[in-house]
Structure 1
Amino acid sequence: QEDLDFVSCENDRYESEIFKWKNDRLVEAIAQEEFEFVKETYEAKARAHRIYEEAEQMRLKAIKEWQKYWVQMEAKYEKERLERRRRFESEQAKIENQKLAQVKAAVAEEKRKREEALKAAENAKKIQDNVKTVTENNTKNLVSDEILKQEERYRNMLKSIQDKFSKNSQLKSATTETRKNITLGLNILTNGRTEILKIASQFDVMLKNHQNNSDVYYFLINYIAKGVVVSIIKKHAEVDVVSKEPAAFPFAHLCVLISTQHAEFMEFLMTRLVKKCPYVLPRYHIKQAVGYLWGDFFVEKDIISAV
């Protein structure tokens, strides 16, 4: 029994030794595997670090190259900018010089023109003073004060008529039909007593119908007077009156008939006639020697002077 127990004990010890040995081998294998894993991990990290370092060096190199290129581009741009600025300043200086030259030329030209204008004005004043003196002397000799006053009165009257009637649209619109009839009557007027009396009667009725409105009344009188003068001068004077003087008689007859009923008409007619022909008022002509200035010289010449 003791032998069996010994054998059993030895067997258990042997089994225990084998198990321990196997366990130690397993631990060593695991440790070796862990070591290999750590080693491989370290080597992988080392390789990754080397790759990163190489990439970082390449990046830094690229940055340096880009910075170098950027510095070159900035230098080139600055050089071009300075060149453009230099050209611009040169062109501006040239333009300023041209403007200055133009201003100087303009000032010189203006000064020359002023001097010429002053000289011309002085000469014109001398001529005007001389002509005025001659004209005043001739006027005193040729025209009476009464005629001058009449002429001035008619011209002032014409100005008043134009100021009051020429741009009065209300009067024009209120007398449209009447003015058409007046124009028609003047256009168809012939040298026949019956026709003249008929048209004069029509004009008389038109005027009397508007006597209660003084503005319309005088507007129509002025329109008839103006129409008579225009008809004589523009229509008949060029065709009929030159070749046949009696062609103007119907208008004279018509004016006389109108003035017998409307005395104001003759004043309006004279105003229009004085405007077209100042010699409706008497003028006289004499031949006398007068002097006038031509430049800086005084010239005497015989002329026919008419005031």
Structure 2
Amino acid sequence: MQDILFLEPVFKEMIWGGDRLRTDFGYEIPSDSTGECWAVSAHTNGDCRIKSGEYQGETLSSLWANHRELFGNVEGEVFPLLIKIIDAKQDLSIQVHPDDVYAREHENGSLGKTECWYILNCEEDGKIVIGHNANSKEELASMIHNNKWDDLIRVLPIKKGDFFQIVPGTVHAIKAGTVILETQQNSDITYRLYDYGRLQNGKPRELHIDKSIDVITCPQKLAEPLRKKRDIKAGEIETLVSCEFYTVEKIKVNGSTELEQTEPFTILSVIAGEGCLDGVKIKKGDHLIVPSGFGSYILEGNIECISSHI
């Protein structure tokens, strides 16, 4: 039987980042205002290493290239998913992502970016940007070029535990005081529409107006999450979303339960509590991959996880 793959996150310092990756998750990181934890990633911009076991020190991309049996021998040039924790002390830019077809043509063969957000924490009056109000590309372009952002964007209230599926073409932005767990395709393609005039190294950050207008869906249709619960021994599993790129579930256990690994691989991110997985201690902030063929395993403790698989 293969070892469970525990991953060492990669941290990214962002101009809008806060300190909750350190204070809430206990990560030992050099900066108080990091912003992003790439928790499970084989992307060239942040490739996680295995923390322990037979493959200690190897990168996830190396395992994908050389030990595809760990992932059910599924096809694909790159590991398909990327899991992040994002801590926004300030508003993120208003942005949009392309789909696979557009990214392949315009971004050197990259994957597009379908993603979803689980709200780990937010302010009492927390808000998020999801969608826009333009009815046509012409109206969209006019509102963008005339800086009518208050009229264009849709701002929704949020609370801890909310979940959003963000399909390509959806205008979106995480706002200040929000911490999310993001499950996404393995892509780092983001088109910025607006960035509040912020400077980075003394210069405004690059905007991508033409590409954004190309890919934004008009009129905007928002994807509805599934949010379907089922009981298990000593807990429950809630399917948050299931689409062509991933299935994401929330697992809550208070006690002990047996789970079965039937997927090519399963990613687990511990978002609350602590416990054991087959006798190995796990706690909030741990991220791991249960490899192909692992079979059944025991999850015990008072613990919450976000699970994902293709």
TM range (shorter): under 0.3
Give the number of the structure whose residues are more often helix, by fraction. Answer: 1
- Report the structure, 1 or 2, having the larger strand content: 2
Provide the TM-score with structure 1 as the length reference: 0.19
